[in-house]
Amino acid sequence: ATEATMPLWEAIAETDSVACVMHGQTELSRLHPLLGRFPSLRVVIDHLNNPVPQDGVAQPIFRALLDLARFPNVFVKLSGFHHWCTDRYPYPSALPYVEAAVSAFGAERCMWGSDFPHVLAGCGYVRNRNLLPREARFLTANQLDQIMGGTAQRIWFQ
């Protein structure tokens, strides 16, 4: 965020809109002053901030995402596996990132993302929809309810 973009952030906060951020990498720290200035600003980080699976959950790209957990209006989309995972469906390399994000943010601040229409060129919509319920065995039924719809319902439809 720069002074030139401040009117945009002010409008997002004033209209109670949701800002979706992609590909922030380690630059997500630039959101910290905005989140302090606009405490009601709701931000969704897409694709778990596109980590590099072989670099582990301690990598700077993913740490930048986890650092945002202290801001209560930051949410995470558990999505983009076909973009950033180097393995194929069911993307086992994604699961440590999903688990770490849910641990840091809580399931009530995490949500599944369909990745439509791009997922059609990857594993397909149905397999993507079933991925977390089938593979993320560390998630409870209540956590899955939040992730697979409850969180998105609260953010965009209430």
Classify residue 71 as left (phi > 0), alpha (psi -120 to 50) or beta: beta
CA distance 124 to 56: 26
Residue 125's identity, in one-letter code, is Y
Taking only the tens place, the pLDDT of each residue in 57-108 is: 999 999 999 999 999 999 999 999 999 999 999 999 999 999 999 999 999 9
- 156, two tokens: 């965009």
Residue 23, pLDDT above cutoff 90: no
What are the CB-based long-range contacts (under 8 Å, 24+) for 124-129?
Answer: 127/89, 127/90, 128/81, 128/82
Residue 119, pLDDT above cutoff 80: yes
Predicted TM-score (pTM) of the model is 0.94
- 18, two tokens: 């949701």
% of the chain with per-residue pLDDT over 70? 98
147 contacts 78 by C-beta, under 8 angstroms: yes
